[in-house]
Every structure is written in structure tokens, then in C-alpha cells.
A and B are shown apart, each in its own frame.
Chain A
Amino acid sequence: MENMNDLPAPEEASAALHEAEASRSALAARLVVPPSSLGLLGLAVAAQIALTAVGLGQDQGQALDHVWLVGVGVVVFSVAAGLQLALFRQRSGVWLGGLASRVTFGTSTAASTSYALAMGGAIWAAYEGAWALCAVAAGAGGAAYVLSGLYWVRAYRARPDRHARGEPALLLAAIAAVAIVGLVTLILDH
């Protein structure tokens, strides 16, 4: 039985801790989120925003003719998100909850705020028939999503222990439910 009061020399403690933290940093540095994967996600977010805005932003009489575009947008985003997470897990051999929630599902403050602003702007532009502005808002939303993801990757590399875990699955499910209810409300209100 090992003795709990059998303390190592400070030099030994320092060496053991340094080695352990170096191993953690090395693993974090090895985990690569390919820029192409983030770019694809950004494009998917831009497409989802644009499709939602177009689907909801038609003239009143035509609205139901285009509402299916909202569903297409959700499918496009879901495929890109699933692809990004599956490829990352397959290539790296680890699962990072922080990557899934903060980067892929955009729960960071920057990603969620920019997404909401871009979506609001795109829908407003679509209602006004300003399609160029709608495209700009959707593109800006996708770009902000990518930048937010890059920011998280940098923060993770600096403090992997602080950023590795994401929000609990229950909270993510609640956020998804709120988003779906919001979309359905928008469609029904139309």
C-alpha cells in the first residue's frame, strides 16, 4: 500500500508535472482542424442562412411555395457539420466536445451572436427583396462562423484543459429544440 504522506522531492514533483503537461500540450498541438473543414462549414452556414431567408422572405402569397428551402438549409448544415465531426474523430482518434459545440454548432458567444445577426439581416433583406444584401448577410454570417472557429482553435491550443469540453448534450438538445421551434414559428407566422 502506498503511503499518502510519502511526498516526492520538489524537483521530482516539478519534473513529473512538467512531463504530464508537456504530453497534454503535445496532444493538443497534434489535433488538427483542417482549414478546408472550417471553410466548408462556413459555406454551409452561409448557404443555410441564405436558404432560410429566401424560404421565408418571399411575398406572402408565394411563401409556402418556397418554405421547403428552409429544410434544405438545415440538411446542408447538418451534412457539413456531421462530416466535419466524423472526419475529425476518424483522423485524430479523439472526441472534442468543445469543438463540436463551440465550433460546429456555434455555441460560442461570437458564433451565436454573429449567426443571429446575419440571419436576422438576411431575412429582413429577403422581405425587402434586397437579394444582394441578403447574400452579403449570409456570407458575413458564414465568415464570422469560421473566424469564431479559428479563435476557438487558438484558445484550445493555449489551454486545452479549459476548452476541451463543450456544453452538456442536454443543453445542446435544448438549443436545437429552441432553434426548431423558432423556425416553425417563423414559418407559421408567415
Chain B
Amino acid sequence: MALDPNLQAPARLTLMTTLTAVSRAEFSTLRDHLQVSDSVLSKHIGALAKLDYVSSRKGVHRGRRTTWIALTTTGRAALSSHVATLRQLIAGVD
């Protein structure tokens, strides 16, 4: 049983899980929803993008330049495996 160390931080697990609800989300939408600062969200997204867990691309939202974030296939697989391990851990005590 092994958890993905890159998803151990609750904030990253929440970010990745939240992204499974959409095809892609605008940066400020994610920031407001997760109630984190720009810098915190940027840091997590940057780290996850380096692992190819999320992708980001520039776009326009309400007339201003912004960044759209999406889960990648690699990220989806990593999250799925991580969550399966978490569920095994939880089931072990039930």
C-alpha cells in the first residue's frame, strides 16, 4: 500500500478532487472556491504541473486574461490510485 507523496497535502488532494468535477476551471474560480490565496494556489498548480498532473493554458474570462486549469490523464490516474489507497486505509479500521 503506497500513497502518492505529491498528493499527501490535503490542499492538493482537495484541488485535484475538485478538478474532477469539471473539464477545466478558471484560476480565480478555483481560488475563490478553495478559499486560498493566489500564491498558494499558484504554488500547488506549479508543482502539480511539473509532475504533469495538471495542465494550464492562458485564456480570456470576462474580458481579461486568465489561466485555465485542467487535470491531465496522468493526474487523473495518480489521483485514482491515491484515493483507492486512502479507501483501503479507511476500510482497514471499519
Give A residues with C-beta under 8 Å from B.
1-8, 10-11, 13-14, 16-17, 19-21, 23-28, 30-31, 89-90, 92-98, 160-161, 164-166
Contact = CB atoms under 8 A, between A and B. Distances in A.
B23 A17 contact: no
A6 B33 CA distance: 30
Nearest to A97: B23
Contacts of B24: 94-95
Contacts of B34: 23
Main secondary structure of the interface of A (DSSP, over half): helix
A93 B61 contact: yes
Interface footprint category on B? 20 to 34
Given A13-B89, A20-B10, A90 B61 contact: yes
Contacts, number: 99
Given A11-B93, A19-B13, A25-B21, 7 more contacts: A1-B5, A17-B83, A20-B16, A20-B18, A23-B34, A26-B33, A96-B23
B20 A160 contact: yes
Given A8-B8, A19-B14, A160 B83 contact: no
Contacts of A21: 17
Contact of B92 (A10, A30, A89): A10
Given A90-B62, A92-B29, A93-B61, A27 B5 contact: no
Contact of B20 (A6, A8, A16, A164): A164
Nearest to A30: B33
B90 A93 contact: no
Interface string B1-42: 111111010100110111011111110110001100000000
